[in-house]
């Protein structure tokens, strides 16, 4: 058997899977989080329950879905709720003080407190007439209100900024007590940022981002070079790569069509 | 009462310029494209829109200048186009009057509208740009008849003094359009798979157009009322339109037409031939600049030459890439109705989209 050479995306997918815990209800979108959650469900943590914001609960798609409302999610799930039931479920989990939800969100910009922008980049303009417009919130704002989140980002200086243009999904706001001050649940918030360089976490006291894990070959210098604010890498450990069997499952069972994990040609 | 109409007559009678509108479906699932196409053909415009999770449906309306105010939470053909391109271009050019809510809030607003509530308090959007920034200012809102005077207001929870919550308005919809699997002449609807916000808007709107894959008798649809999702008296018109959600998917019936969605993704980059020429010229200039900066890089020089040829060919009209206008001409305006559209898509192509019952989607297209 030929040896699989790991890609950046596979590292991220594996990091996602390893951070899903027993019995957690996992809010996934499409793309890498779905690959990670599929890996968790199959191998790393089979007791988890993937759900999507359109209201489809405990999904186990055979073929990788393209959107959260895809027939591929609807087939073989436990319940097909309308979206408002999902929203109510999310809010009630918090009202019941249940800590079972973990959610994945992405974005274009992030600040040191894990506030995320997925709405627009101003450039020389503003919110009303921005340089670059994205989709906007989708389900992300609600998810970031009520759930602990894992944020997925490409690690680039222009994305990791001290100040972002627009907060679509609230992180720890401006630090300790920041969420409570604006009326958000204080006991929920971003847990980590999974990037192509490693895993960033938030300091318990200051709520500022630090580097907790680096992928093999990544150095503190590389992390700092690609971060637009000062980032502490002094506690960073190496996050080991998965074994060949995990890569085989990703490539041959979960995403054989390379919908989200692109394998470079030899 | 028999509410069966032809597509032409339903749209002519119930879709009026200036309506406040919401379409059912979710990005690329059960979107009522057959009605969208007919509205485009007939010319109604100036819509105030409550777009749920929208995709190509509203992107086409925006690109054709039919939207007066666009209240939205997400606009993309997910998995094909990350951000709908005419929506994006209109905002970046400052040509679209729009407002953002989060999807949670917008869907709850549509639900609240179905419940007949006066307004809706939520614990959402707090601390975010969604509260801080208004796409449509208070002043603009006063001039727009169908847009509420305020986007949102922070209020105190009267039942829990000290707690801040956010009050948002409930939409007052003139028109809802949904595509369902089965309907009967009296308007009763069966929705299979996720209903999304379709039932909410069918109850909330003053006028409701339903298109269906299968038109069944009023007796047949009552054989198992647990399947029925919309009371017929909510419905204004029923139109039999098989494949009426094409190129989006329809649970238990057919999958996305990935060829059409990819075609739209590419074509919608350019509004028209002039826009294509302008954008390609810009891309060529950028490629040339990159090549000039690194004269030793042969690959950059090659890319610049290729970009220049594409720009020159587009400018001279020798080879213009397919544009948004071309796509609409091909799939909307050049056909007189939905039947002609299906003929144009072709029988074997439509058959390949049919869901495989054991999977719930198609692997054949």
3-state helix, strand, coil in chain A (%, to 5): 25, 20, 55
Q: Where are the alpha helices (DSSP H) in chain A?
A: 8-18, 32-39, 71-74, 83-95, 140-146, 178-181, 220-225, 244-248
Residue range B191-203, pLDDT digits in tens: 999 999 999 999 9
**Strand order of the sheet with strand B164-169?**
B119-122, B164-169, B153-156
Range 29-48 of A in CB contact (< 8 A) with B: 30
B73 touches chain A (CB under 8 A): yes
A257 touches chain B (CB under 8 A): no
Nearest-CA distance from A59 to chain B in Å?
13
Cβ distance B128 to A170 less than 8 Å, yes or no, reads yes
Cβ distance A66 to B199 less than 8 Å, yes or no, reads no
Residue range B86-122, pLDDT digits in tens: 999 999 999 999 999 999 999 999 999 999 999 999 9
Query: Predicted confidence band at A266 (pLDDT cuts at 50, 70, 90)?
Result: low
Model-level ipTM above the cut of 0.90? yes
Cβ distance B27 to A67 less than 8 Å, yes or no, reads yes
Query: Predicted confidence band at A1 (pLDDT cuts at 50, 70, 90)?
Result: low
Does the annotation count A53 as an active-site position?
yes
- Is B247 within 8 Å of B30 (Cβ atoms)? no
Q: Which of A66, A128, A139 is the closest to B103 by Cβ?
A: A139
Residue range B253-284, pLDDT digits in tens: 999 999 999 999 999 999 999 999 999 999 99
Enumerate residues 6+ apart whose C-beta is below 8 A from B72.
A136, B49, B51, B54, B58, B98, B99, B100, B101, B106
- What is the rounded CA–CA span in Å between residue A174 and residue B41? 51
Residues of B in contact with A65 (CB under 8 A): 79
Which residues, listed in sequence order, are joined to residue A209 by a DSSP beta bridge?
Answer: A202
Token pair, residue B49, equals 């829109």
Residue keyed to tokens 């727009």: B144
Residues of A in contact with B165 (CB under 8 A): 183
B162 touches chain A (CB under 8 A): no
B105 touches chain A (CB under 8 A): yes
Query: Predicted confidence band at A119 (pLDDT cuts at 50, 70, 90)?
Result: very high
Residue range A135-175, pLDDT digits in tens: 999 999 999 999 999 999 999 999 999 999 999 999 999 99
- Other C-beta atoms lying within 10 Å of the C-beta of residue B143: 9
Nearest-CA distance from A143 to chain B in Å?
9
**B contact test, residue of A142, A146, A149 with most B CBs within 10 A:** A142
- Is B359 within 8 Å of B249 (Cβ atoms)? no
Tell me the CA distances in angstroms from B289 to B21, B258, B314, one per residue in order. 46, 36, 20
- Give the single-character DSSP code of B322: P
CA angle B195/B201/B205 to nearest 5° reads 155
Q: Which of A80, A90, A141 is the closest to B128 by Cβ?
A: A141
B115 touches chain A (CB under 8 A): no
Chain B residue with Cα closest to A56: B194
Residues of A in contact with B102 (CB under 8 A): 137-142
Token pair, residue B179, equals 């595509």
Residues of B in contact with A169 (CB under 8 A): 128
Q: Which of A128, A133, A137 is the closest to B103 by Cβ?
A: A137
Tell me the CA distances in angstroms from B81 to A16, A89, A202, B9, one per residue in order. 25, 29, 33, 33
Q: Where are the alpha helices (DSSP H) in B77-217?
A: 85-92, 103-115, 129-132, 138-143, 198-204
Nearest-CA distance from B7 to chain A in Å?
26
Active-site residue, selected from the candidate residues A53, A63, A252, A266: A53
Q: How many CA atoms lie within 13 A of B333 on its CB side?
A: 10
A265 pLDDT above the threshold of 90: no
Query: Predicted confidence band at A29 (pLDDT cuts at 50, 70, 90)?
Result: confident
Q: Is the dihedral of CA A76, A78, A80, A82 positive or negative?
A: negative
CA angle A102/A108/A109 to nearest 5° reads 90
Range 165-224 of A in CB contact (< 8 A) with B: 166-170, 173, 178-179, 182-184
Nearest to B345 by CA among B331, B333, B334, B355: B331
Residues of B in contact with A108 (CB under 8 A): none
Instruction: Report how far apart the first and last C-alpha atoms of chain A are (Å, whole number).
Output: 15
Range 270-299 of B in CB contact (< 8 A) with A: none
Nearest-CA distance from A246 to chain B in Å?
25
Least confident residue range of A37-46, B130-139, B318-327? A37-46
Cβ distance B255 to A71 less than 8 Å, yes or no, reads yes
Question: DSSP 3-state assignment of A94?
Answer: helix
Question: DSSP 3-state assignment of A209?
Answer: strand
- Is B354 within 8 Å of B362 (Cβ atoms)? yes
């Amino acid at each position: 058997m030929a040896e699989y050479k790991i890609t950046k995306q596979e590292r991220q997918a594996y990091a996602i899977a390893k951070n899903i815990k027993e019995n957690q209800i996992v809010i996934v979108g499409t793309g890498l989080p779905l690959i990670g959650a599929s890996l968790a469900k199959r191998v790393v943590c089979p007791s988890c329950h993937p759900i999507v914001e359109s209201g489809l609960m405990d999904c186990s798609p055979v073929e990788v879905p393209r959107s959260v409302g895809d027939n591929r999610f609807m087939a073989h799930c436990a319940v097909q709720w309308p979206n408002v039931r999902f929203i109510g479920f999310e809010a009630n989990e918090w009202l019941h003080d249940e800590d079972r939800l973990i959610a994945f969100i992405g974005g274009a910009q992030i600040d040191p407190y894990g506030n995320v922008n997925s709405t627009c980049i101003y450039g020389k303009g503003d919110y009303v007439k921005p340089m670059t417009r994205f989709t906007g919130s989708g389900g992300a704002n609600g998810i970031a209100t009520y759930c602990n989140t894992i944020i997925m980002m490409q690690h680039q200086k222009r994305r990791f900024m001290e100040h972002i243009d627009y907060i679509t999904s609230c992180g720890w706001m401006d630090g300790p007590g920041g969420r409570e001050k604006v009326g958000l649940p204080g006991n929920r918030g971003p847990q980590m940022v999974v990037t192509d360089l490693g895993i960033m976490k938030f300091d318990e006291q200051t709520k500022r981002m630090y580097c907790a894990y680096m992928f093999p070959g990544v150095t503190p210098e590389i992390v700092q070079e690609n971060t637009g604010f000062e980032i502490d890498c002094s506690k960073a450990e190496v996050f080991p790569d998965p074994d060949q069997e995990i890569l085989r499952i990703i490539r041959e069972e979960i995403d054989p069509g390379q919908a989200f994990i692109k394998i470079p040609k030899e | 009462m028999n509410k069966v109409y032809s597509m032409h007559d339903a749209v002519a009678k119930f879709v009026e310029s200036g309506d406040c509108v919401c379409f059912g479906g979710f990005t690329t699932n059960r979107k009522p494209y057959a009605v969208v196409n007919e509205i485009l053909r007939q010319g109604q415009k100036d819509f105030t829109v409550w777009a749920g999770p929208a995709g190509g449906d509203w992107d086409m309306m925006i690109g054709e200048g039919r939207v007066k105010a666009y209240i939205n939470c997400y606009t993309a053909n997910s998995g094909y186009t990350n951000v709908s391109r005419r929506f994006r271009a209109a905002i970046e050019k400052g040509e679209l009057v729009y407002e953002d809510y989060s999807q949670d809030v917008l869907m709850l607003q549509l639900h609240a509208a179905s419940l007949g509530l006066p307004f809706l308090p939520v614990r959402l959007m707090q601390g975010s740009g969604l509260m801080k920034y208004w796409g449509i200012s208070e002043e603009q809102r006063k001039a727009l008849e169908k847009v509420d005077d305020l986007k949102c207001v922070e209020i105190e929870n009267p039942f829990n003094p000290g707690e801040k919550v956010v009050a948002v308005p409930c939409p007052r919809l003139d028109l809802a359009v949904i595509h369902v699997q089965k309907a009967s002449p009296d308007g009763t609807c069966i929705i299979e798979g996720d209903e999304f916000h379709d039932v909410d808007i069918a109850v909330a709107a003053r006028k409701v157009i339903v298109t269906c894959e299968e038109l069944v008798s009023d007796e047949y649809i009552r054989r198992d009322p647990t399947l029925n999702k919309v009371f017929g008296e909510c419905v204004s018109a029923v139109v039999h339109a098989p494949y009426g959600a094409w190129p989006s998917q329809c649970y238990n019936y057919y999958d996305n037409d990935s060829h059409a969605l990819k075609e739209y993704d590419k074509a919608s980059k350019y509004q028209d031939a002039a826009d294509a020429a302008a954008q390609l010229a810009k891309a060529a200039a950028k490629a040339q600049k990159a090549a000039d900066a690194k004269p030793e890089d042969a690959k950059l020089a090659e890319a610049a030459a290729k970009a220049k040829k594409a720009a020159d060919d587009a400018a001279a009209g020798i080879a213009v890439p397919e544009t948004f206008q071309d796509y609409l001409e091909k799939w909307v305006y050049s056909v007189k109705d939905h039947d002609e559209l299906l003929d144009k898509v072709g029988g074997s192509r439509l058959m390949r989209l049919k869901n495989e019952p054991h999977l719930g989607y198609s692997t054949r297209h």
